[in-house]
Amino acid sequence: MTTALDPRERMARIAGSGLRYWVHGESAESTLVMVHGLRGTHHGLAEIAQALPGRRIVVPDLPGFGGSGPMSARRHDVEGYGAAVTELIEREADGRPVALLGHSFGSLVAAAVAARTPELVHRLVLVNPISTPALRGPRVVLSRLTSAYYALGKALPDQLGRALLSNRAVVLVASKAMTRTRDPRLRERIDREHLRHFSRFHSPALLSETFAASVSHTVADYAGALKMPTLLIAGAEDDIAPLDGQRALAARLADAELVVIPDVGHLVHYETPVAAAEAVERFLGAP
């Protein structure tokens, strides 16, 4: 039997992308689909999946990232990725509603899918959800600098743009800025994971398009249409998706529960995956 520790890799042609995804726990009757964040791959959610061994879990590399090719039939924005994830759900859920989990940018995609096709999603889990507009508020200066960085990467010739956006020093600065753990071995492992997977994007133009989408929306854009039970998992020290914004988002949802994990920021999936999985397990109930 396939277990969460031994996922099976699959490929499907979706929106022109050769989309690669991994299936854990083939024997379970219900399905949990997980969507990673910006510049991530399925690897980032592996530890949460491994902590849910009794469940059937489907985790794709979003089109244009990791092992998945870009989409030719859709834009690489929230709606485009939402359509791709919807098609994946229709292929893999055997006609039954799924539980859908999204981390960071993946929370936007998951919320869009749940809002557009609520008949496909019976429960929604949002980990470090994007709840505060990036181009307004206390992080506006950093957000605009980051936007300029991605715009420059797109404007340069492809090889130079890719070198800029994949620069080792820049990736390490971003990794260390998001990490809150004081465990040096865990910090080192998180840095390695970011160096290994953070630059697995198809092109600077695709990455710029996706980044622009990530700072142009929040989950609150879809709040009115999210009627299903929804679990929000927040990091108490998350300055990308601040806790005040999570509380405000939870208050706007029809049926929401907010779980706050202490001493962690935007990397719940790396720093506290077991605590996140325990919250997911309790929320979803029996597989």
Residue 100's domain is classified under what CATH number?
3.40.50.1820
What's the confidence (pLDDT) of residue 86?
A: 98
**Gap between the Cα atoms of 287 and 141, Å rounded:** 44
Task: Out of 3-12, 118-127, 262-271, pick the least confident.
Answer: 3-12
Q: Over the chain, what is the mean pLDDT?
A: 93
- 98 and 89 Cβ atoms separated by less than 8 Å: yes
Q: Is the pLDDT of residue 119 over 50?
A: yes
At residue 221's C-alpha, the angle toward residues 250 and 271, to 5°, is 55
194: its two tokens: 């970011």
Question: Does 228 fall in a domain?
Answer: yes
Query: How high is the pLDDT of residue 184?
Result: 96
**Environment class of 72 (CB within 10 Å of its CB; exposed 0-12, middle 13-18, buried 19+):** exposed
> Rg for the chain (alpha carbons), in Å?
17
- Residue 61: which H helix or E strand, with range? none
Enumerate the β-bridge partners of residue 103: 127
**Separation of alpha carbons 29 and 49, rounded Å:** 16
Question: Under a CB-based contact definition with an 8 Å cutoff, are residues 178 and 240 in contact?
Answer: yes
Residues 285, 88: Cα–Cα separation, whole Å: 23
Residue among 194, 180, 207, 197 nearest 262 (CA)? 180
Q: Output the six-digit token pair for 24.
A: 């854990």
Would the pLDDT of 4 be above 50?
no
Question: For residues 72 and 183, what is the distance between their CA atoms, to the nearest angstrom?
Answer: 43
In a domain, 171, yes or no: no
252: in domain? yes
Residue 202 domain-assigned? no
Kindly give, in sequence order, each residue whose CB lies less than 8 Å from that of residue 190, ignoring residues fewer than 6 positions away. Answer: 175, 179, 181, 267, 270, 271
- Residue 70 pLDDT exceeds 60: yes
pLDDT in tens, 17-53: 999 999 998 766 789 999 999 999 999 999 999 999 8
SS3 256: strand
Residue 226 near residue 116, CB atoms below 8 Å: no
Number of independent structural domains in the chain: 1
Residue whose entry in the numeric block shows the structure tokens 């893999």: 92
Range of the domain at 227: 8-134+217-284
Can you read off the two tokens belonging to residue 77?
Answer: 């924005």
